[in-house]
């Protein structure tokens, strides 16, 4: 009880030291080693989740009900389920098998696919959960399964092993409490990160020593942010409690891998599904493509056609039966009372029967075919060798296959700059010290930035102070192997610098060029070698870490003479307000010149602190670091107070080179009709220089600026901003000549405009208020008239706001965001399509994107080739499915006019069932995976071809109407052609008469051959697989029909198809009729193609027409005209010139080029 009273006293004292902490909520207390803090305390084991990882969606018990529930939430599946139930309950003309079997096929294929994917997740979970880990129990290292780890267990992890849960680092085998780890599986960052143990536990390097530790950890409840952690450790020693703050630098995350350290000890704080890695499993919001929306619209149209057909047939049935001669036969006459009873129910039943009879007009198998096309098609992106990067040994990655076709519809591209357009490999170029510019020479020759052009150097004291600041103000570690006796550090050894930021490594290497070499850190002592080859030591007191809001970082160090210094480096916008004005002028001109040259600039400052000043700052920092509530806000305030009244030493210039072919890629995107916006956090001058270098802005581009610089001279910035918006709107929108023909992807006439805006100006435009909404619309109209837009000084949230704003403008243009860092994730998730670059800033962008590519240059092929082809393929697939089903059902509808609307099926049940599943499904699937209507080289060489399919051109209402009319025409030809053939029912010499099943079989045979040959006619790119599925499907139909009609099936009550097909083939008249009807059905299509090819053949030769295209060719002999070699048209689109997709294309070039002038309806 006495000890307990002491503990309460300590807690009361702690509450006085940290006021408000006693009211905190949302924290957990972890007992290290699951031991009480004193022997007299009763320890009650706390209940936390175990360390099992569960990423799977289903179990053995819930797979069937859960999967069925999810599948029948889709309207199409639910519709066919209702149809199946109607067939099973109501006396309908067709068997329930005809709709039940296709539905069962679709449900089964989808369930197998989802079940297999979930099985893979189960297998991966099992491998992780059953892996071996080492836990310290009773001073011994015990081997256990990973899933057996509990919160509070002390875990031993060895070199190159993965951390099994989220651990607080206690000690390392090196004895200094420092270890490095890679987090590639979390954020993909290849650079090693450094983690630290608290000073009191760092020396506990053995199993016995670490097991003797008595401590508790108070920390926040689990949350998914990988880079945030708030906690503190209370260490109990001889009735004394020492509290130490814990942050992200102490937390080893599950999934990270230990590097260059023999072993470490850590205590588990988050396990299983509460680890940060598991909390990041949550899926992204579902994105829907424009093709899905078109499918739904077309589905509604065909549903209306279905209801109309059923209504017409039901009405005409009762009209027809109103004639007594057409009613019941004389032997089955009903009384009037019998006729009138249940009349409404009979009408409704008849309506349902007709709905069932015609329901095959709705293509249920289209959904599973589209899913298979998207899933299998995504592999072609991953397998593309031209998108494989040898440097990182990786290719493109597809995170979602639902948006393949959306890559062919992009109108706006939003891109980050650093790491996306540039390499993010930093190289130190030059520096400025006290106004003197130092170039990259051994002796440090410098030239003054000014009018005099004289030569000189900064004072030796400032020069050395600046270089010391570069050597000390960073978080760089030296990569060396950890030995059992500690860290071996020799000044003569060649050392490799390791840091999460490439900028810091470039600056340390820059200081090395001028004679100051960073030698590493050991036990909080930083070592540097100066120009005189002397070793200097500094005690590291505090690190004020970099964050995007402050845009700077600082260190507090103590020299061997006892002097305390604050060294700070950061962006000029965050540093200039914290230094003296007279010091700014000497540096500012140098910083601005470097920014114009395209370099990344950082300013360096310092101040010397007295012991009293440091003690006060140290107390403020410790209080902020120990807080569990609002720690970030308290730290931010402490940092602001400390980083004030500094002295500016100089600035650095680091070059981040453009990525290979970045300029050519942006030019290609512009030529394809896309508008490219650069959204970056860099300063205006640097970003502008990069935009010129990558040809976003051309030399003749007139730049319009809405930046702080254009507003700072005015007291009311809002008023000036509104004036500029109105002026730009008048020039670009009101006074600009209207483009002819209502061009949709056009810019303002012959003059190119570019807009530059910064974050503060954007905040003014987006601020709440009615007038702001008006000016936001004006701003958007200006942006739409600009060829390119540069947004600089952007916060991550502002990037997402811009994408959302453009995404929601009139017309809902398709947007694409591309970035490489964690600050780009918000805009990647906001855009219709998100592209992640597998860059050096980590893989958070790649993990959260829909597609990931190694380099920005790969965006060109991804959009212009893969996007173009995928859109054309799936558009063809969708239109073809509706077309072939209309051809299929229209003869069934017409047949009702000749059978007294008796709901007699025209086709056999086997044909009804297998038409969409077997006879016509594989050819269109192969086509939608392999077709190349224009070869890949031509698509890359001519980006303007991308505009021909823009704005969902092939799934608009006019192409849909064309396909529908074509299907209706062919359906009429099939039915009435066979009807005319049957005017003489005796089609054989022996006078044998054919029946209704023969009639339906002839129609069906003509139908299957015609729709399959139609697809063959559309195919430009033939492979062995196309030949196999097209001719194989026709052969399978013939073989099946012979087999189906050649056997007496014991499970069938009616053998109505027995010998029908074989008997039909013995008639020469039937053979001739089928061939003739196929030709007549395809005649409009062939005529349209030949007419356009004759026109194309007579066109003047154009450079684009000389490209190596290899379509099928047709040779015709046209009477007195010489033989003409006709090639099937290459470009498949519906749009004409007037619709505006050729905004920058010369009219004469358009007319002369058969590729661009082909206005073929791509059926």
What is the Cα–Cα distance from 387 to 377, expressed in whole angstroms? 16
B/e letters for 297-325, b = 16+ CB within 10 Å, e = fewer, are: ebbeebeebbeebbeebbeebeeeeeeee
Structure-token match 């029946």, residue found: 995
Torsion (CA) 511, 515, 521, 522 in degrees, nearest 10: 180
Torsion (CA) 341, 343, 345, 348 in degrees, nearest 10: 170
What SS3 state is found at 162? strand
What are the structure tokens assigned to 1100, written together?
């003047």
Query: Please, what is the Cα angle at 785 between 783 and 789, to 5 degrees?
Result: 40
What SS3 state is found at 234? strand
Q: Is 416 a catalytic residue?
A: yes
Q: Which long-range contacts (CB under 8 A, 24 or more apart) does 94-100 make?
A: 94/356, 94/357, 94/905, 94/909, 94/912, 95/909, 97/909, 97/913, 98/360, 98/909, 98/912, 98/913, 99/356, 99/359, 99/360
Select which of 416, 434, 752, 824 is catalytic: 416
Give the H or E element holding residue 798: helix 796-807
What is the Cα–Cα distance from 196 to 483, expressed in whole angstroms? 17
* DSSP 8-state symbol, 896: G
What is the Cα–Cα distance from 815 to 675, expressed in whole angstroms? 10
Nearest C-alpha neighbor of 76 from the set 904, 833, 908, 916: 916
> Residue 628: what are its φ and ψ, rounded to 5°?
-95, -20
HEC sequence for 1029-1044 = HHHHHHHHHHHHHHHH
What is the Cα–Cα distance from 681 to 794, expressed in whole angstroms? 5
Bridge partners of 195, per DSSP, are 179
In terms of residues, how long is the chain?
A: 1163
Residue 367: half-sphere exposure toward Cβ, Cα within 13 Å:
21
What is the Cα–Cα distance from 1021 to 935, expressed in whole angstroms? 9
Residue 840 Cα to chain centre, angstroms: 18
What SS3 state is found at 498? strand
Helices 1024-1045/996-1018 angle, 10° precision: 180
What is the Cα–Cα distance from 527 to 442, expressed in whole angstroms? 22
What is the Cα–Cα distance from 970 to 982, expressed in whole angstroms? 18
What is the Cα–Cα distance from 952 to 874, expressed in whole angstroms? 11
Longest CA span, the chain: 124
B/e letters for 468-500, b = 16+ CB within 10 Å, e = fewer, are: bbbbbbbbbbbebebeeeebeeeeeeebebbbb
Give the H or E element holding residue 1083: helix 1068-1097
| Start-to-end CA span in the chain (Å) | 88
> Residue 501: what are its φ and ψ, rounded to 5°?
-115, 125
Structure-token match 């083939």, residue found: 1065
Residues labelled as active-site residues: 416
């Amino acid at each position: 009880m006495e000890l307990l009273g002491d503990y309460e006293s300590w807690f009361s004292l702690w509450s006085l030291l940290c006021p408000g902490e006693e009211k905190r909520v949302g924290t957990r207390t972890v007992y290290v080693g699951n031991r009480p803090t004193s022997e007299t305390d009763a320890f009650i084991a706390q209940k936390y989740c175990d360390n099992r990882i569960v990423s799977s969606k289903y179990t053995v018990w819930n797979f069937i009900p859960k999967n069925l529930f999810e599948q029948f939430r889709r309207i199409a599946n639910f519709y066919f389920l209702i149809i199946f139930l109607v067939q099973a309950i109501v006396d309908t003309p067709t068997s329930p098998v005809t709709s039940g079997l296709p539905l069962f096929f679709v449900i089964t294929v989808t369930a197998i696919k989802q079940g297999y994917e979930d099985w893979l997740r189960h297998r991966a979970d099992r491998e992780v959960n059953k892996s071996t880990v080492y836990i310290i129990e009773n001073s011994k290292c015990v081997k256990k399964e990973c899933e057996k780890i509990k919160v509070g267990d002390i875990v031993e992890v060895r070199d190159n092993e993965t951390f099994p849960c989220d651990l607080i680092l206690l000690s390392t085998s090196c004895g200094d409490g420092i270890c490095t780890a890679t987090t590639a599986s979390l954020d993909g960052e290849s650079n090693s990160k450094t983690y630290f143990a608290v000073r009191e536990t760092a020396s506990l390097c053995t199993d016995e020593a670490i097991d003797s530790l008595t401590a508790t950890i108070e920390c926040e409840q689990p949350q998914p942010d990988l880079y945030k952690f708030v906690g503190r450790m209370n260490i109990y020693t001889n009735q004394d409690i020492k509290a130490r703050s814990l942050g992200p630098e102490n937390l080893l995350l599950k999934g990270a891998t230990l590097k260059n350290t023999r072993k470490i000890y850590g205590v588990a704080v988050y396990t299983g599904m509460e680890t940060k890695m598991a909390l990041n499993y949550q899926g992204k919001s579902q994105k829907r493509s424009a093709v899905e929306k078109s499918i739904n619209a077309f589905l509604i149209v065909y549903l209306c056609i279905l209801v109309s057909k059923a209504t017409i047939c039901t009405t005409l049935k009762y009209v027809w039966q109103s004639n007594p001669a057409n009613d019941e036969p004389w032997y089955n006459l009903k009384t009037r009372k019998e006729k009138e009873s249940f009349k409404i129910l009979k009408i409704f039943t008849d309506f349902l029967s007709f709905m069932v009879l015609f329901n095959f007009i709705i293509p249920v198998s289209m959904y599973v075919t589209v899913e298979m096309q998207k899933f299998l098609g995504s592999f072609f992106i991953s397998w593309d060798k031209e998108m494989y990067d040898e440097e990182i040994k990786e290719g493109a990655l597809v995170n979602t296959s639902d948006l393949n076709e959306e890559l062919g519809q992009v109108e706006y591209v939003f891109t980050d700059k650093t790491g996306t357009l540039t390499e993010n490999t930093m190289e130190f170029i030059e520096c400025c010290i006290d106004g003197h510019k130092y170039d990259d020479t051994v002796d440090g020759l410098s030239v003054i930035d000014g009018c005099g052009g004289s030569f000189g150097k900064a004072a030796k004291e400032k020069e050395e102070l600046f270089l010391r600041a570069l050597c000390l103000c960073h978080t760089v570690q030296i990569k060396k192997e950890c030995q059992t006796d500690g860290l071996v550090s020799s000044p003569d050894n060649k050392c490799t610098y390791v840091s999460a930021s490439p900028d810091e490594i470039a600056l340390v290497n820059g200081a090395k060029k001028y004679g100051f070499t960073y030698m590493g850190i050991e036990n909080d002592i930083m070592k540097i070698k100066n120009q005189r080859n002397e070793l200097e030591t500094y005690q590291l007191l505090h690190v004020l870490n970099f964050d995007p809001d402050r845009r700077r970082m600082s260190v507090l160090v103590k020299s061997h003479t006892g002097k305390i210094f604050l060294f700070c480096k950061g962006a000029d916008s965050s540093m200039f307000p914290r230094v003296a004005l007279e010091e700014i002028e000497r540096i500012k001109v140098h910083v601005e010149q470097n920014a114009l040259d395209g370099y990344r600039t950082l300013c360096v400052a310092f101040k010397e602190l007295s012991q009293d000043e440091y003690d006060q700052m140290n107390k403020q920092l410790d209080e902020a670091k120990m807080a569990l509530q609002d720690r970030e806000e308290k730290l931010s305030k402490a940092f602001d107070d400390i980083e004030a009244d500094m002295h500016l030493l100089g600035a650095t210039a680091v070059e981040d080179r453009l990525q290979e072919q970045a300029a050519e890629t942006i030019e290609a995107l512009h030529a394809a009709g896309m508008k490219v916006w650069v959204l970056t956090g860099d300063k205006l001058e640097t970003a502008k220089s990069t935009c010129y270098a990558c040809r976003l802005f051309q030399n003749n581009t007139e730049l319009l600026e809405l930046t702080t610089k254009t507003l700072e001279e005015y007291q009311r910035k809002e008023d000036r901003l509104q004036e500029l918006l109105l002026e730009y709107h008048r020039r670009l929108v009101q006074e600009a000549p209207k483009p002819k023909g209502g061009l949709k992807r056009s810019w303002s006439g012959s003059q190119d405009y570019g807009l530059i805006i910064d974050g503060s100006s954007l905040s003014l435009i987006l601020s709440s208020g009615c007038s702001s909404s008006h000016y936001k619309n004006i701003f958007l109209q200006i942006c739409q008239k600009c060829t390119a837009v540069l947004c600089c000084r952007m916060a991550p949230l502002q990037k997402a706001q811009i994408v959302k704003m453009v995404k929601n403008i009139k017309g809902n243009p398709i947007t694409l965001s591309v970035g490489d860092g964690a600050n780009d994730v918000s805009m990647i998730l906001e855009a219709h399509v998100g592209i992640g670059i597998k860059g050096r800033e980590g893989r958070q962008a790649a993990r959260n994107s829909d597609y990931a590519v190694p380099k920005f240059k790969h965006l060109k092929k991804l959009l212009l080739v893969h996007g173009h082809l995928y859109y054309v393929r799936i558009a063809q697939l969708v239109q073809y499915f509706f077309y072939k089903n209309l051809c299929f059902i229209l003869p069934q509808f017409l047949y009702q006019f000749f059978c007294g609307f008796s709901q007699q099926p025209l086709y056999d049940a086997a044909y009804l069932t297998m038409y969409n599943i077997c006879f016509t499904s594989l050819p269109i699937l192969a086509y939608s995976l392999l077709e190349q209507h224009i070869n890949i080289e031509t698509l890359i060489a001519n980006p303007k071809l991308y505009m021909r399919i823009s704005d969902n051109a092939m799934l608009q209402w006019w192409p849909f109407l064309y396909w529908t009319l074509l299907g209706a025409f062919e359906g009429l030809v099939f039915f009435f052609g066979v009807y005319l053939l049957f005017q003489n029912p005796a089609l054989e010499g022996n006078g044998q008469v054919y029946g209704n099943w023969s009639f339906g079989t002839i129609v069906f045979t003509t139908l299957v051959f015609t729709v399959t040959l139609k697809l063959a006619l559309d195919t430009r790119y033939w492979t062995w697989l196309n030949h196999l599925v097209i001719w194989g499907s026709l052969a399978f139909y013939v073989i099946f029909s012979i087999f189906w009609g050649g056997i007496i099936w014991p499970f069938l009550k009616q053998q109505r198809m027995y010998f029908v097909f074989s008997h039909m083939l013995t008639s020469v008249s039937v053979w001739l009729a089928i061939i003739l009807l196929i030709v007549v059905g395809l005649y409009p299509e062939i005529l349209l193609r030949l007419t356009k090819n004759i026109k194309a053949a007579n066109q003047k030769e154009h450079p684009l027409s000389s490209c190596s295209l290899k379509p099928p060719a047709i040779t015709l002999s046209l009477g007195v005209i010489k033989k003409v070699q006709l090639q099937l048209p290459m470009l498949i689109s519906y749009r004409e010139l007037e619709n505006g997709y050729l905004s920058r294309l010369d009219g004469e070039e358009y007319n002369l080029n058969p590729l661009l002038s082909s206005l073929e309806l791509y059926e």
